[in-house]
């Protein structure tokens, strides 16, 4: 009997994305959480790791986005309890970086 391994198919378990040099040409970055893990995320984080701010918008249905949330250098947005299908990250004028983890 074969032994299953969660790491064989990680996209069924979690979503992650990062851009260590997020520039205006990369903006906006639309991340499809639902399309990757085939379910909404209800926990996770978004980190702003670069010198500039980023603007984050969340969609619970995959088409309609809520209000913009500005993350400044080294700030983190906790997604625990949020239903997230897509995430839109927008460059705000100064190059930055971000990391996203959802499950």
Asked if the structure places residue 3 within a domain, the reply is: no
Task: Say what the pLDDT of residue 5 is.
Answer: 46
Task: Say what the pLDDT of residue 10 is.
Answer: 53
Asked if the model's pLDDT at residue 2 lies above 50, the reply is: no
State which residues form the domain around 26: 18-102
Closest CA to 77 of 103, 40, 42, 46: 46
Q: The CATH number of the domain where 31 resides is what?
A: 2.60.120
Domain count, the chain: 1
User: Could you report the per-residue pLDDT of 58-103, keeping only the tens digit for each?
Assistant: 999 999 999 999 999 999 999 998 899 999 999 998 999 999 998 8
Structure tokens at 61: 């249905």
> What is the pLDDT of the chain when averaged over all its residues?
87
Asked if the structure places residue 8 within a domain, the reply is: no
Asked if the structure places residue 11 within a domain, the reply is: no
Asked if the structure places residue 12 within a domain, the reply is: no
């Amino acid at each position: 009997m074969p032994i299953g391994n969660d790491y064989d198919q990680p996209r069924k378990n979690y979503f992650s994305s990062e851009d260590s040099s997020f520039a205006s040409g990369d903006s906006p970055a639309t991340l499809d959480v639902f399309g990757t893990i085939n379910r909404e995320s209800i926990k996770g984080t978004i980190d702003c790791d670069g010198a500039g701010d980023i603007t984050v918008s969340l969609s619970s249905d995959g088409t309609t986005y809520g209000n913009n949330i500005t993350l400044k250098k080294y700030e983190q947005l906790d997604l625990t309890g949020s239903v997230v299908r897509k995430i839109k990250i927008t460059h705000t004028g100064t190059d930055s970086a971000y990391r996203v983890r959802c499950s």
